[in-house]
Amino acid sequence: MSEKINLLNLKAPGCWINDPNGFIYYRGKYHLFYQCFPYAAFWGTMHWGHAVSKDLIHWEHKGLALIPSKHYDRNGIFSGSAIDVEGRLYLYYTGIVYAGEEPENIHLSASGDSRQCQAMLISENADDFDNFNSKRLLIAPIEDRELADPGDCRDPKVFRHGERFYMCLGSTHEKRRGVLIMYSSINAVDWEYFCRLESDRLGHTLECPDLFKLSGRWLLLGSPMGMWKGRADYDSQALIYNAGFDPDRGELSLMDEGRLLDYGLELYAPQSNTDACGRRVYIAWMRMQRPMRAGGNAAADGRSWNGMMCLPRLLELRDGEIYTPVHPDIRSFFKAEECMERSISGRRASIRDGKGRLFTELSEGEEIEIDGYKISLSSKRLICDRGSLVPEGLSVSKRAGTPCIADSCELEIYWDEDIVEIFVNDGQYVLSLLSYRNAITE
């Protein structure tokens, strides 16, 4: 997967990728940075890869934007975000320094311990990223463990509210309770501690917090770790919470336990921003399980790859409920005159460039099959079973399902050879699963 242009889902360009970073509509284009280990199809010293799109459909890979270059980020540029400040692009990230490198793989920390600081790079135009002269250290590792943990405090998500800027960070209290810690600033460069929230609802450690206001309500996207102990695939999932945030008093709270953003198994580390029309849109990493050092998916050119993004989705409140429909621009890719038609379980699907889309209804007991995915409504839950696709030797769950819906539901389904994304009742629930069809399982 090392083509320069990806259609719809962004995929790793012949290497490893994870979280979306710095997702922003800037000077008429969408920019999507992402966690990237450029040398192999497994995780290692993090860099930021960069892709650009005019329409959320065609993504052009631009190569690396942020690379380790300073004493405070020598072992990696972890996740972060972007804002536009008077026409310049401010990129915020976590700088990593390992306690010691693993002798046989210097891209890993020997003990797992690191020190994590917050830093930024200012780009004049989103084309040039001067990693030597335009970076700044903003917040040194936090030593006061009552506030945060110097080895687990990361993923700055910066937003503007009123006259000030706010930065959310994910952390932990003694690896037992997740912490959301916030800083504030008047100029987006000089930061001071603002407030914090510690809760069991944030797992043992919180990653990638993203707080924003939507139709008058504060919502928090978060990736709490360790909440699903013993689960076969992953013990962490992305949640969305109703939150309370009072910027005048510096008060922060959670109003509920959070609900899954996607009912599949792989979606993680979502990041949101506003789109060209001011709507709230998010994108997230679809994790791919692989033996750590063995690699990823086979690609035509022989370079294996691991990691991709879900389709961009809107976040909306309808009658007080959170909906996450596919971003409306995605629909325009399947213009009737440019698509082929294909019959799927007696329904007409649209196909273009190896991507498919099907609008349909499903009633209790019915099942349709799309390229090996079996999708059914059973006991009022939408179930997707990928059992026939997963290669032997790969231990991942075969099925996933939504909570109870009703005796029938409307579906909007997108798929290609690597993924299926099922939007139920226009985003009431979403269920996304990888196929693992091209997995290398030696």
> In the complex, which residues of this chain contact ligand FRU (CB under 6 A)?
18-19, 35, 46, 78-79, 94, 154-155, 207-208, 268-269
Q: Give the count of beta carbons closer than 10 Å to the beta carbon of residue 375.
A: 25
Q: Which is nearer to ligand FRU, 79 or 237 (CB)?
A: 79
In whole angstroms, how close is the CB of 170 to ligand FRU at the nearest point? 6
Which residues are 259's β-sheet partners?
A: 240
The residues near 127 (Cβ < 8 Å, ≥ 6 apart) are none
Instruction: Tell me how far apart the alpha carbons of residues 371 and 377 are, in angstroms, rounded to a whole number.
Output: 18
Sign of CA dihedral 23, 24, 27, 28: positive
In whole angstroms, how close is the CB of 430 to ligand FRU at the nearest point? 19
Q: Which is nearer to ligand FRU, 286 or 370 (CB)?
A: 286
| Contact by Cβ (8 Å): 431, 424 | yes
Q: Which is nearer to ligand FRU, 270 or 401 (CB)?
A: 270
Q: Which is nearer to ligand FRU, 81 or 94 (CB)?
A: 94
In whole angstroms, how close is the CB of 203 to ligand FRU at the nearest point? 12
In whole angstroms, how close is the CB of 268 to ligand FRU at the nearest point? 6
Instruction: Tell me how far apart the alpha carbons of residues 208 and 224 are, in angstroms, rounded to a whole number.
Output: 8
In whole angstroms, how close is the CB of 20 to ligand FRU at the nearest point? 10
Q: Which is nearer to ligand FRU, 9 or 109 (CB)?
A: 109
In whole angstroms, how close is the CB of 335 to ligand FRU at the nearest point? 35
Three-state SS letters, 21-39: EEEEEECCEEEEEEEEECC
- Six-digit token string for 62: 């631009």
Angle at 335 between CA 334 and CA 338, to 5 degrees: 95
| Element housing 328 (H / E) | helix 328-331
**How does DSSP classify residue 338?**
G
Residue 332, helix vs strand vs coil: helix
Q: Which is nearer to ligand FRU, 48 or 323 (CB)?
A: 48
Question: Could you identify the residue written with the tokens 């030797």?
Answer: 393
Q: Which is nearer to ligand FRU, 208 or 220 (CB)?
A: 208
In whole angstroms, how close is the CB of 82 to ligand FRU at the nearest point? 15
In whole angstroms, how close is the CB of 373 to ligand FRU at the nearest point? 25
Q: Which is nearer to ligand FRU, 78 or 241 (CB)?
A: 78
Q: Could you give the maximum distance between any two Cα atoms of the chain, in Å?
A: 62
Instruction: Tell me how far apart the alpha carbons of residues 427 and 320 are, in angstroms, rounded to a whole number.
Output: 14
Q: Which amino acid is at 205?
A: T
